Homo-oligomer: A and B are copies of this chain.
Amino acid sequence: MTDNASMRRPDLAGVQEAAAKMAQILPPTPLLPVEHEGRKFWIKAECLQPVGAFKIRGAWHRLSALSQAERQRGVVAVSSGNHAQGVAWAARRLGMAATIVMPSDAPAIKVARTRELGAQVIFYDRMNEDREAIATALAAERGAAYVHAFADPWVIEGQGSAGIEIAAQLGRQPARILVCCGGGGLTAGLALACPDSEVVPVEPEGWDDVCRSIESGRIERVSDSPPPTACDALQTFATGAINFEVISRRCAFGLRVSEAEVAHAQRFAFSRLRLVLEPGGAVALAAALAGKAQLDDATVVIATGGNVDPQSFARIVAGH
């Protein structure tokens, strides 16, 4: 982590500004009613964003806040693929050059889409190289803006704009929000956006650094040899200080789901919701379906992303 100690704190006013900016360029993503075993709840379908993930929000709020001079020097980001596409999408719209540092094992579909959006892709080894160091060096070399995937006040506020939409769509802040959690950008953003809601981050087993951080009261890291997970989008080693400041204050607990529970949620989304979810975009739904959280019509489950390689998805839905 390379948190900037002098960084401003994200706040509700910033989230509201981000929501107003999003409303100028894109319609709200649908809030879909779901019935499951007699209980009704809501899915916020962020997988239906143009880049297939909520990441477009934070990227837009951040890049659109840059000056013309800053925009001309381009942007650098690190991402396994969804933040990459969000940044590339926003950069293209603003006429900016984008360079994305991606893990060499990122899903092929995410690499291809990032390039399609006009970004330059540079690979790194997820387990052995320091991606932050690579990216910040690149940014410094080019004088480019470095947009962190989650530990950035604009990114947090931007992701939070989903919460403003939810409250408008429901006519009130929901009682609880279950949210897929990697670095904690969306979790912190929603916590700011909906101060009356219980915000519950959900992580894959073994990648539960945010759960453990909430439990211990300080930022914990994923172990040095975490288990394999299909949730490429959630493979972050630790949340940021700027995220944890919000999460520790607003989240009472987090939830963990197994790989099998995630696959089941992807199949449910396929057959019952007709939505394509990637593993990391299905963990909140997985927790809901596994009975790990209260479900009612004041509960919103965020389906964060749907960028998944066709062969992987075919294996999941065919059940082998």
Interface residues of A (CB under 8 A from B): 26-27, 29-33, 35, 45, 47-48, 50, 52, 109, 267, 270-271, 273-277, 306-307, 310-311, 313-315, 317-319
Contact = CB atoms under 8 A, between A and B. Distances in A.
Contact of A318 (B33, B273, B314, B319): B314
A267 B311 CA distance: 12
A310 B306 contact: no
Contacts of A35: 50
A277 B52 CA distance: 16
Contacts of A314: 313-315, 317-318
A310 B33 contact: no
Contacts of A27: 30-33
Contacts of A273: 48
A274 B275 contact: yes
A267 B277 CA distance: 14
Chain A interface helix/strand/loop/mixed = mixed
A10 B146 CA distance: 59
17 contacts: A27-B30, A27-B32, A27-B33, A30-B30, A30-B45, A33-B50, A35-B50, A48-B275, A109-B271, A267-B310, A274-B275, A274-B276, A310-B319, A313-B314, A313-B317, A314-B314, A314-B315
A317 B50 CA distance: 20
A86 to B, nearest CB: 15
**Oligomer copy total:** 2
B274 A310 contact: no
Nearest to A32: B48
A26 B32 CA distance: 10
From A26, A29, A45, A271, name the one whose CB has the most chain B CB atoms within 10 angstroms.
A271
Contacts of A31: 27
Given A29-B30, A274-B276, A314-B315, 5 more contacts: A30-B30, A33-B50, A52-B274, A109-B271, A310-B318
Nearest to A109: B271
A295 to B, nearest CB: 16
Contacts of A30: 27, 29-30, 45, 48
Nearest to A26: B33
Nearest to A273: B48
Nearest to A313: B317
A310 B271 contact: yes
A32 B30 CA distance: 9
Nearest to A35: B50
A318 B314 CA distance: 6
Contacts of A29: 30
A263 to B, nearest CB: 12
Contacts of A310: 267, 270-271, 317-319
B270 A313 contact: yes
A164 to B, nearest CB: 18
Contacts of A274: 47-48, 52, 275-277, 306-307
Contacts of A319: 310
A52 B307 CA distance: 21
